[in-house]
């Protein structure tokens, strides 16, 4: 049986899953949006682990993990999405964030993973394509992850993801 993709509206830092995915920047030292929220909720251990594990940051499209610190999840899987506003429009880098996160989840033994819409916030990736890319990568990447939970910050994103999910074959 393949991965079950679900959608919820809420705060990714409060998800009771094995791992949450952080839409990080290349520097891996915290930032705004999801990245800032995860660092704030996880506490100083998340940043300390980022500094230790990623002394030179992480490349766009790459994935790596740290502790989740004070969050209910056990791990944070950090991915660096392409910055559409800065001209990074290679969709394969966006797909790589999801497939890379699943590969890291498999290495960790994580069965449940909560994802934001990578690059759809401050990085300006068009939301409809960000949703399509997430569903494409999550639905086609071989993994032992049982549930990939897309966490929508607001009602509009929740409705759009839900509509895209209901239109998928097999849903």
CB atoms within 10 A of CB 58: 20
Active-site hit among 11, 18, 35, 129: 35
User: Buried (b) or exposed (e) across 125-152, using 16+ Cβ within 10 A?
Assistant: bebeebbebbbbbbbebebebeebbbbb
Task: Indicate if 18 belongs to the active site.
Answer: no
Question: Helix %, strand %, coil % for the chain, to 5?
Answer: 40, 20, 40
Q: Which residue, 111, 121, 110, is CA-closest to 152?
A: 121
Give the C-alpha separation, 120 to 128, whole Å.
Answer: 9
- Rg of the chain, C-alpha, whole Å: 14
- Positions annotated as catalytic residues are 35
């Amino acid at each position: 049986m393949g991965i079950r993709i679900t959608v919820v509206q809420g705060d990714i830092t409060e998800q009771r899953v094995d791992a949450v995915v952080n839409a990080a920047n290349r520097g891996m030292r915290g930032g705004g949006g999801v990245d800032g929220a995860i660092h704030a909720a996880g506490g100083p251990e998340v940043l300390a682990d980022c500094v230790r594990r990623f002394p030179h940051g992480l490349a766009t499209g790459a994935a790596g993990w740290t502790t989740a610190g004070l969050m209910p999840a056990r791990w944070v899987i950090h991915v660096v999405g392409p910055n559409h506003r800065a001209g990074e429009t290679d969709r394969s880098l966006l797909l790589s964030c999801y497939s890379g996160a699943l590969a890291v989840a498999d290495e960790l033994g994580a069965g449940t993973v909560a994802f934001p819409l990578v690059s759809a916030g401050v990085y300006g990736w068009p939301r409809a394509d960000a949703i399509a890319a997430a569903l494409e990568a999550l639905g086609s990447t071989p993994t032992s992850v049982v549930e990939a939970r897309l966490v929508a910050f607001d009602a509009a994103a929740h409705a759009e993801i839900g509509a895209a999910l209901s239109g998928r074959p097999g849903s």
